[in-house]
Structure 1
């Protein structure tokens, strides 16, 4: 599956990409919401978006809301270093919100499996 990873922290984005690539996914990366929109326009095969919450200019929830305004219905997983329940309360429409921590190699594949199962 082709997945767009959006993270302003290059190292964190690379780590997320490595987890996904280990699962057999093809990863496209963007450093912010503007670059992510460009990548979505350039890559019609993207099937899932994984975005960091805390980014400059446009945070992950704002990015999600902008996508929805534009009619984009791709599944969206938000990664946060804060309490995921707070982000979910801010935007209940998110497909998943998980902690961006040392357990990402387990929690992210699980979240993807759950999200894609509910979308099929």
Structure 2
């Protein structure tokens, strides 16, 4: 599966991509929401989006809303450095909301697998 990782922190993006690649996926990186939209317009093999929540200009949630308005319904996983609350996790169109914590490797693998089954 080809997965688009959107994160304004290059180190965090590379870490997420490495986790995904260790699980057998391929990953592309986008440094912000606009680059993510550009990649989605040009690459047709992307099957999942993983985005950081807190990014300058356009947040991960705003990116999700923008994509849904454009009728893009790819599975979308949101990552946050905060502890996600229940209301955030129930955002319509969101496949999963995960905390960037010590358990991220296992929680991300489970969330990716679950998102791809839907």
Normalised by the shorter chain, which TM-score bucket?
over 0.9
Q: Distance in 1 between matches of 2:14 and 2:102?
A: 14
Q: Distance in 2 between matches of 1:48 and 1:94?
A: 11
Query: What's the TM-score once normalised by structure 1's chain length?
Result: 0.93
**Which residue of the partner structure matches residue 55 of structure 1?**
55
Query: What is the number of equivalent residue pairs in this alignment?
Result: 117
**Which residue of the partner structure matches residue 20 of structure 2?**
20
Q: Distance in 2 between matches of 1:110 and 1:13?
A: 18
What secondary structure sits across from 1:27 in the alignment? strand
Query: 1:13-38 CA distances to partner (integer Å, 9 max, x unpaired)?
Result: 00000000001111010000000001
In structure 1, list runs of 5 or more residues that go unmatched: none
Query: 1:61-113 CA distances to partner (integer Å, 9 max, x unpaired)?
Result: 00000000000010000001112225325x24311101112221111001111
In structure 2, list runs of 5 or more residues that go unmatched: none
1:4 and 2:4 equivalent? yes
Q: Distance in 2 between matches of 1:102 and 1:39?
A: 29
Contact kept, 8 Å, 2:7 with 2:51, in 1: the verdict is yes
Query: What's the TM-score once normalised by structure 2's chain length?
Result: 0.94
Give the aligned CA root-mean-square deviation in angstroms. Answer: 1.1
